[in-house]
Structures are given as structure tokens and as C-alpha cells.
Amino acid sequence: MSWLTDALKSSLGRKLIMAITGLFLILFLMGHVLGNLLLFKPDGGQAFNEYARFMTTTPVIQVLSYVTYLSIIIHAIYSILITRKNKEARPIGYAVNKGGENSTWSSRNMGILGTIVLIFLVIHLKSFWYEMRFGILPTVIYPGVGEFKDLYSIVAAAFTQWWYVLLYLVAMFGLGYHLAHGFESAFQTLGLNHKKYTPLIKKIGFGFAIIVPLLFASMPVVMFIQSLA
Ligand code: HEM
């Protein structure tokens, strides 16, 4: 098994782990943003509450949830390990490239962008994930369907607070920049370099990094405006 620990400790092994967990988290984000669009269904939250129950009680999804938690933890730990290794290798930084001609702003700030997303996640999970699983939620009865935990009312209440909405907007900026570099970088690490497809992958990554955070950001903004009416 020492080949495995050696591989996991190697620079390429660490980057591969970052890439694989990152790509899995990208898939998670796709599913999460699509599911959360149910918040916009004008049915008082019924579809969203039914979806939330489905997501928290279906065994296959529960397994996927554990893979998601593990991916977040591993992705964060390995980012620290890689940053530390890079600093050891080059304690005073590059002499050239001060203005960043050879790299983008997001690629040079992945650590800070990832930290913004991580801080957001801790607050986000406490507000919704923790409440759904361990909190005492109000329930709502949908005739002919049954009694449901009313997670929708918790989300709607959270998004009546301007500072909470602002927190989400800042975090979605961070997420967008983090994804802009992460998507492309993951494909590069996996060695998926191709004359024809790499430019296409870059475009898809760029589009994803804009559209997904924008959709996420629209949720607190729209619900905040609705709460004013
Ligand atoms: C801004 C709009 C968002 C809304 C309205 C939203 C809503 C929710 C809700 C209601 C839950 C609890 C459902 C459950 O218990 O499974 C949840 C869980 C979660 N959210 Fe979000 N979310 C948003 C954005 C994000 C973003 C941007 C990320 C990641 C960067 C994220 C990561 C997660 C994770 C990891 C979970 C736990 C999922 C699981 O248990 O499988 N969310 N979210």
C-alpha cells in the first residue's frame, strides 16, 4: 500500500485529488442550483419542501451527500497542503510576474477565493442543512400529499435579512472566480489537453462560472424583493 500513500503525497497525486474532488463538487453545484430553482415556483413552497424531503430521505442521494461532504473536506485539506508545499519550494515568490502577466487574478487567488466559499458554506449549512436535519422546523400539511417539514419558510425568512443576502452575493462572486480557474485547471491536471476540445472546455468552464453563481445569487435577491412586497 506504500505506493498509494506515496502517490497521494506526490505533487501530481495531490493535484489529481484536488481535480477529482473539484469536478465532483461542480456536479453537485449543478444539481443543487437546478433543485433550488423550485424556490421560484409560485406554489407557496410545496414543490421545494417535497424536493427537500426527497433529497434527505432517499438512500442513493444520502450516499451522494456523504461523498459531497467528504469531497469538500478533502478539497479544503489538500488545498492547504499544496499551498504549503508551494511556499516551501519558493519562499520569496517569483521575481518576475509581479503584475501577473503569466497568470490570471483568479488563479493567483484560489486560496482566498476558496476561503470565502468555505466561510459561506459554514454559515449556509448551519442555516439550512443543520436546521433540516437537527432543528425543530415548523411543519405544513399539503392535502392529499402529507405533512412536510417547512424548510421553504426557513429559507424565505433567512432571505428577508439584507445582510444575509449581501453575504450570499459576496460569496457568489468568490465562487464565480473560484470556478473560473478551477474548472479549467482540473481538466489540465487530468491531462485532458486537446487542440480542438480544450478551447471548448474553457468556454464551457467560463460559462458555468458565470451562470451558476448568477442563478444562486438570484435566489436571495428575488426572495428579498418578494419579502418587501
Ligand atoms: C444561494 C442559493 C442557495 C440556496 C437557496 C441553498 C439552499 C440549500 C438548502 C435549503 C439546503 C438544505 C437541504 C438539505 O438539508 O439537504 C442546502 C444544503 C447544502 N448546500 Fe446550499 N443553497 C444555495 C447555495 C449553495 C452554494 C453556492 C453551495 C456551495 C458553494 C451550497 C452548498 C450546499 C451543501 C454542500 C449542502 C448540503 C447538501 C447535502 O446535505 O447533500 N449551497 N442548500
The one-letter code for the residue type at 40 is F
DSSP 160-188: T-HHHHHHHHHHHHHHHHHHHHHHHHHHH
In a domain, 70, yes or no: yes
Q: What is residue 89's predicted lDDT score, i.e. its pLDDT?
A: 75
Nearest-atom number in ligand 1 for the CA of 52 is 13
In a domain, residue 99? The reply is no
- From ligand 1's centre to the CA of 102, what distance in Å? 35
Q: How far is the CA of 190 from the centre of ligand 1 (A)?
A: 27
Atom of ligand 1 nearest to the CA of 69: 35
96 lies in a domain? no
Q: What is the pLDDT of residue 90?
A: 66
pLDDT tens digits, 129-152: 999 999 999 999 999 999 999 999
Q: Read off the pTM.
A: 0.91
Please report, for the domain that includes residue 17, its CATH number.
Answer: 1.20.1300.10
- Classify residue 138: in a domain, yes or no: yes
CA distances from 104 to 39, 43, 161, 169 (A): 35, 44, 34, 22
Q: Which residue ranges have their beta carbon within 6 Å of ligand 1?
A: 32, 36, 52, 55-56, 65, 68, 117, 121, 124-125, 128-129, 132, 151, 155, 168, 175, 216, 219-220
Does a structural domain hold residue 209? yes
Q: For residue 162, is it within any domain?
A: yes
Question: Is the separation of the CB atoms in 106 and 176 below 8 Å?
Answer: no
Q: Whose CA is nearest to atom 18 of ligand 1?
A: 129
**Closest atom of ligand 1 relative to the 172 alpha carbon:** 27
Query: Probe ligand 1: pick from 36, 159, 169, max atoms within 8 Å of CB?
Result: 36
Q: Decide if 100 is inside a domain.
A: no
Centre of ligand 1 from the C-alpha of residue 216, in Å = 10
Look at residue 1 and tell me whether its pLDDT is greater than 70: no
**pLDDT value, residue 4:** 72
Per the domain annotation, does 103 fall within a domain?
no
Ligand 1 midpoint to CA 81 (Å): 26
Q: Which of the four pLDDT bands, split at 50, 70 and 90, describes residue 49?
A: very high
- Which residues form the domain of 121? 2-89+108-228
Q: In sequence order, what are the residues at sequence separation of 6 or more whose Cβ sits closer than 8 angstroms to the Cβ of residue 175?
A: 113, 116, 117, 120, 212, 213, 216
157/193: higher pLDDT = 157
Provide mean pLDDT across the span 85-113: 69
Measured over all CA atoms, what is the biggest interatomic distance in the chain, rounded to whole angstroms? 69
Indicate the number of domains in the chain.
1
Alpha-carbon distance of 155 to 227, in angstroms, equals 12
Distance 97 CA to ligand 1 centre (A): 38
How far apart are the CA of 204 and the centre of ligand 1, in A? Answer: 23
